[in-house]
Amino acid sequence: MHELSIAKRIIDKASELREEYQASKIIKIYIKIGALSGVEQENLHFCYNILIEGMDEFKESQLIIEEKEWIVKCNNCGTEYNPDVHLLLCPGCQMNSSTLISGDELDFVSLEVE
């Protein structure tokens, strides 16, 4: 399952940072997910909760997911836009030919520890 491996990556990264900060527990984990990454937020929360079971330092932690919008760049005039808003047509030249520049990534943003 896609979400399970992502949840694992998030937890590994958070564990690493917790050690670096020498914190006793993790309060909040902030991540950003591209609108096109195919990640179901609900599913990710579900997998996350399964994986942190039995991990004391994660017991009270919360996973905060922010969705990052889909941005493409027009191949004709270089305008960057969100195709959801503009129905795939470039607002600069009305062409429908673009390259994805943001929207399918997963970013670890920050961590709140105690």
91 is a contact residue toward Zn ion (CB under 5 A): no
Quick one: which of 15, 37, 43, 76 contacts Zn ion (CB under 5 A)? 76
Q: Least distance (Å) from Zn ion to the CB of residue 84?
A: 16
| Cβ count within 10 A of residue 6 | 19
**SS3 of the chain: helix, strand, coil, percent, to 5:** 35, 30, 35
Nearest to 48 by CA among 37, 35, 57, 61: 61
**Which lies closer to Zn ion via its Cβ, residue 38 or residue 78?**
78
Quick one: which of 31, 90, 111, 113 contacts Zn ion (CB under 5 A)? 90
89 is a contact residue toward Zn ion (CB under 5 A): no
102 is a contact residue toward Zn ion (CB under 5 A): no
d(CA 86, CA 32) in angstroms, rounded, equals 23
What are the φ and ψ backbone dihedral angles of 86, each rounded to 5 degrees?
A: -105, 15
**Which lies closer to Zn ion via its Cβ, residue 97 or residue 110?**
97
Cβ atoms of residues 86 and 107 within 8 Å = no
82 is a contact residue toward Zn ion (CB under 5 A): no
Q: Which residues are documented as binding site for Zn(2+)?
A: 74, 77, 90, 93
